[in-house]
Protein backbone atom coordinates (compact mmCIF):
# COMPACT_ATOMS: atom_id res chain seq x y z
CA UNK A 1 0.00 0.00 0.00
CA UNK A 2 2.81 2.43 0.83
CA UNK A 3 4.26 2.09 -2.67
CA UNK A 4 1.05 2.84 -4.56
CA UNK A 5 1.11 5.80 -6.92
CA UNK A 6 -2.31 7.32 -7.57
CA UNK A 7 -2.76 9.99 -10.24
CA UNK A 8 -5.79 12.23 -10.75
CA UNK A 9 -6.36 14.19 -13.96
CA UNK A 10 -9.22 16.10 -15.57
CA UNK A 11 -8.56 14.97 -19.14
CA UNK A 12 -11.30 17.10 -20.79
CA UNK A 13 -12.32 14.39 -23.23
CA UNK A 14 -11.04 10.98 -24.35
CA UNK A 15 -13.10 10.41 -27.47
CA UNK A 16 -10.23 11.32 -29.79
CA UNK A 17 -8.18 8.14 -30.24
CA UNK A 18 -4.86 9.95 -30.65
CA UNK A 19 -5.42 12.04 -27.53
CA UNK A 20 -6.64 9.03 -25.56
CA UNK A 21 -3.59 6.92 -26.37
CA UNK A 22 -1.27 9.87 -25.79
CA UNK A 23 -2.70 10.45 -22.31
CA UNK A 24 -2.54 6.77 -21.40
CA UNK A 25 1.06 6.57 -22.62
CA UNK A 26 2.00 9.61 -20.54
CA UNK A 27 0.35 8.08 -17.47
CA UNK A 28 2.25 4.85 -18.06
CA UNK A 29 5.51 6.77 -18.16
CA UNK A 30 4.54 8.50 -14.91
CA UNK A 31 4.14 5.08 -13.31
CA UNK A 32 0.59 5.47 -12.06
CA UNK A 33 -0.78 2.31 -10.41
CA UNK A 34 -4.29 3.71 -9.94
CA UNK A 35 -5.70 6.44 -12.17
CA UNK A 36 -8.59 8.80 -11.44
CA UNK A 37 -9.73 10.47 -14.67
CA UNK A 38 -12.47 13.12 -14.84
CA UNK A 39 -14.47 14.60 -17.70
CA UNK A 40 -13.80 11.66 -19.98
CA UNK A 41 -16.79 12.70 -22.14
CA UNK A 42 -17.16 9.01 -22.99
CA UNK A 43 -20.60 7.48 -23.47
CA UNK A 44 -21.19 4.11 -21.88
CA UNK A 45 -20.37 2.06 -24.96
CA UNK A 46 -17.28 4.22 -25.64
CA UNK A 47 -15.77 3.15 -22.32
CA UNK A 48 -15.28 -0.26 -23.93
CA UNK A 49 -12.83 1.43 -26.32
CA UNK A 50 -10.90 2.69 -23.31
CA UNK A 51 -10.93 -0.79 -21.80
CA UNK A 52 -9.15 -2.12 -24.87
CA UNK A 53 -6.38 0.46 -24.42
CA UNK A 54 -5.49 -0.43 -20.84
CA UNK A 55 -4.04 -3.38 -18.97
CA UNK A 56 -6.00 -3.61 -15.78
CA UNK A 57 -9.44 -3.12 -14.29
CA UNK A 58 -11.75 -0.32 -15.40
CA UNK A 59 -14.63 1.21 -13.42
CA UNK A 60 -16.60 4.11 -14.81
CA UNK A 61 -19.65 6.34 -14.59
CA UNK A 62 -20.99 7.94 -17.76
CA UNK A 63 -23.93 10.04 -18.89
CA UNK A 64 -25.08 9.80 -22.49
CA UNK A 65 -25.89 13.48 -23.02
CA UNK A 66 -23.24 15.15 -20.87
CA UNK A 67 -19.59 16.13 -21.01
CA UNK A 68 -19.10 14.50 -17.63
CA UNK A 69 -17.80 11.00 -17.01
CA UNK A 70 -15.31 9.60 -14.51
CA UNK A 71 -13.06 6.56 -14.64
CA UNK A 72 -10.95 4.60 -12.16
CA UNK A 73 -8.23 2.46 -13.73
CA UNK A 74 -6.42 -0.06 -11.54
CA UNK A 75 -3.36 -1.35 -13.37
CA UNK A 76 -2.76 -5.08 -13.78
CA UNK A 77 0.34 -4.96 -11.57
CA UNK A 78 -1.96 -4.23 -8.60
CA UNK A 79 -3.63 -7.27 -7.08
CA UNK A 80 -7.05 -5.72 -6.53
CA UNK A 81 -10.02 -7.86 -5.47
CA UNK A 82 -13.26 -6.05 -6.24
CA UNK A 83 -16.07 -6.25 -3.70
CA UNK A 84 -18.55 -3.48 -4.49
CA UNK A 85 -19.00 -0.69 -7.02
CA UNK A 86 -21.18 2.39 -6.58
CA UNK A 87 -21.91 4.42 -9.70
CA UNK A 88 -23.55 7.80 -10.14
CA UNK A 89 -26.00 7.73 -13.04
CA UNK A 90 -25.11 11.32 -13.92
CA UNK A 91 -21.44 10.65 -14.58
CA UNK A 92 -20.14 12.52 -11.52
CA UNK A 93 -18.55 9.80 -9.40
CA UNK A 94 -17.60 6.16 -9.21
CA UNK A 95 -16.67 4.43 -5.94
CA UNK A 96 -14.98 1.04 -5.79
CA UNK A 97 -14.50 -1.07 -2.68
CA UNK A 98 -12.11 -4.00 -2.58
CA UNK A 99 -8.85 -5.36 -1.23
CA UNK A 100 -5.22 -4.70 -2.10
CA UNK A 101 -2.80 -7.11 -0.44
CA UNK A 102 -5.56 -8.09 2.03
CA UNK A 103 -6.08 -4.43 3.02
CA UNK A 104 -9.61 -3.19 2.44
CA UNK A 105 -9.77 0.05 0.48
CA UNK A 106 -12.39 2.41 -0.87
CA UNK A 107 -11.50 4.45 -3.96
CA UNK A 108 -13.76 7.39 -4.83
CA UNK A 109 -13.23 9.44 -7.99
CA UNK A 110 -15.30 12.62 -8.26
CA UNK A 111 -16.05 15.27 -10.86
CA UNK A 112 -18.05 18.05 -9.20
CA UNK A 113 -19.74 20.03 -12.03
CA UNK A 114 -19.43 23.80 -11.44
CA UNK A 115 -23.20 24.24 -11.75
CA UNK A 116 -23.97 21.78 -8.94
CA UNK A 117 -25.16 23.09 -5.58
CA UNK A 118 -24.49 21.71 -2.10
CA UNK A 119 -27.02 18.90 -2.57
CA UNK A 120 -24.47 16.87 -4.49
CA UNK A 121 -21.84 17.39 -1.80
CA UNK A 122 -24.29 16.08 0.79
CA UNK A 123 -24.82 13.03 -1.42
CA UNK A 124 -21.07 12.42 -1.62
CA UNK A 125 -20.60 12.75 2.13
CA UNK A 126 -23.52 10.40 2.76
CA UNK A 127 -22.13 7.69 0.50
CA UNK A 128 -18.71 7.91 2.16
CA UNK A 129 -20.25 7.69 5.63
CA UNK A 130 -22.68 4.85 4.86
CA UNK A 131 -20.94 2.76 2.18
CA UNK A 132 -17.15 3.15 2.40
CA UNK A 133 -14.97 0.54 4.10
CA UNK A 134 -11.34 0.36 5.21
CA UNK A 135 -8.80 2.86 3.90
CA UNK A 136 -10.69 5.62 2.07
CA UNK A 137 -8.99 7.55 -0.72
CA UNK A 138 -11.10 10.18 -2.49
CA UNK A 139 -9.86 12.38 -5.29
CA UNK A 140 -10.79 14.34 -8.34
CA UNK A 141 -11.82 17.70 -9.71
CA UNK A 142 -13.99 19.28 -7.02
CA UNK A 143 -14.31 22.74 -8.59
CA UNK A 144 -13.88 24.48 -5.24
CA UNK A 145 -11.12 25.95 -3.10
CA UNK A 146 -10.71 24.45 0.36
CA UNK A 147 -8.62 27.42 1.52
CA UNK A 148 -9.30 30.53 -0.62
CA UNK A 149 -6.28 32.42 0.78
CA UNK A 150 -3.86 29.68 -0.28
CA UNK A 151 -5.71 27.88 -3.05
CA UNK A 152 -6.53 30.92 -5.17
CA UNK A 153 -4.40 33.68 -6.69
CA UNK A 154 -7.08 36.15 -5.63
CA UNK A 155 -7.81 36.17 -1.91
CA UNK A 156 -11.56 36.08 -2.15
CA UNK A 157 -14.26 33.51 -1.57
CA UNK A 158 -14.81 31.07 -4.43
CA UNK A 159 -18.34 30.96 -5.80
CA UNK A 160 -18.68 27.41 -4.43
CA UNK A 161 -17.88 28.53 -0.87
CA UNK A 162 -21.03 26.93 0.58
CA UNK A 163 -20.04 23.60 -0.93
CA UNK A 164 -16.43 24.04 0.26
CA UNK A 165 -17.60 24.86 3.76
CA UNK A 166 -19.68 21.68 3.85
CA UNK A 167 -16.66 19.65 2.74
CA UNK A 168 -14.34 21.29 5.29
CA UNK A 169 -16.75 20.45 8.11
CA UNK A 170 -17.12 16.86 6.92
CA UNK A 171 -13.33 16.42 6.70
CA UNK A 172 -12.95 17.73 10.26
CA UNK A 173 -15.70 15.51 11.66
CA UNK A 174 -14.70 12.36 9.77
CA UNK A 175 -10.93 12.75 10.17
CA UNK A 176 -10.00 13.35 6.53
CA UNK A 177 -7.02 15.37 5.38
CA UNK A 178 -6.20 17.26 2.21
CA UNK A 179 -3.08 15.29 1.27
CA UNK A 180 -1.29 17.95 -0.78
CA UNK A 181 -1.99 20.73 1.72
CA UNK A 182 -0.78 18.51 4.58
CA UNK A 183 2.53 18.03 2.75
CA UNK A 184 2.74 21.70 1.75
CA UNK A 185 1.08 23.74 4.54
CA UNK A 186 1.80 27.21 3.14
CA UNK A 187 2.65 26.62 -0.49
CA UNK A 188 0.69 28.19 -3.34
CA UNK A 189 0.29 26.03 -6.44
CA UNK A 190 -2.70 25.79 -8.71
CA UNK A 191 -4.34 23.25 -11.00
CA UNK A 192 -6.61 25.49 -13.09
CA UNK A 193 -6.54 28.91 -14.72
CA UNK A 194 -9.73 30.78 -15.55
CA UNK A 195 -9.10 33.22 -18.39
CA UNK A 196 -12.57 34.62 -17.91
CA UNK A 197 -11.84 35.67 -14.33
CA UNK A 198 -8.02 35.97 -14.63
CA UNK A 199 -7.51 33.77 -11.59
CA UNK A 200 -5.57 30.62 -10.74
CA UNK A 201 -7.18 28.06 -8.41
CA UNK A 202 -6.34 24.70 -6.90
CA UNK A 203 -9.52 22.77 -7.65
CA UNK A 204 -8.18 19.20 -7.67
CA UNK A 205 -7.69 17.19 -4.49
CA UNK A 206 -6.83 13.92 -2.83
CA UNK A 207 -8.55 13.39 0.52
CA UNK A 208 -7.89 10.45 2.80
CA UNK A 209 -8.27 9.42 6.40
CA UNK A 210 -5.53 10.83 8.60
CA UNK A 211 -4.81 7.33 9.90
CA UNK A 212 -3.55 6.28 6.45
CA UNK A 213 -0.24 8.00 7.24
CA UNK A 214 0.33 5.37 9.91
CA UNK A 215 0.16 2.49 7.42
Which positions make up the binding site for Mg(2+)? 10, 39, 141, 143
The beta strands (E) that lie in 56-102 are given as: 56-61, 70-75, 80-87, 93-100
Is there a contact between 160 and 143 (Cβ–Cβ < 8 Å)? yes
The CA distance from 109 to 96, in Å, is 9
* C-alpha to C-alpha distances, 147 to 72, 82, 93, 155, 166, nearest whole angstrom: 27, 35, 23, 9, 13
Binding-site annotation, residues: 10, 39, 141, 143
The CA distance from 94 to 142, in Å, is 14
| DSSP assignment letter at 152 | B
What residues have CB less than 8 Å from 24, skipping those under 6 apart? 53, 54
| CB-CB neighbours of 150 under 10 Å | 16
Taking alpha carbons only, the member of 139, 132, 131, 133 closest to residue 179 is: 139
Amino acid sequence: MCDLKIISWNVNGLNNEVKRKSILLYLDREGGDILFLQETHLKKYCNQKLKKDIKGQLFYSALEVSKRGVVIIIKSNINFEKEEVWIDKEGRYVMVIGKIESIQVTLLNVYYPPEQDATFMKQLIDIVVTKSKGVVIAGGDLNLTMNPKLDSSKAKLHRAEKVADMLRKACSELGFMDVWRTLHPNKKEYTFYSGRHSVYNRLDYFLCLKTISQM
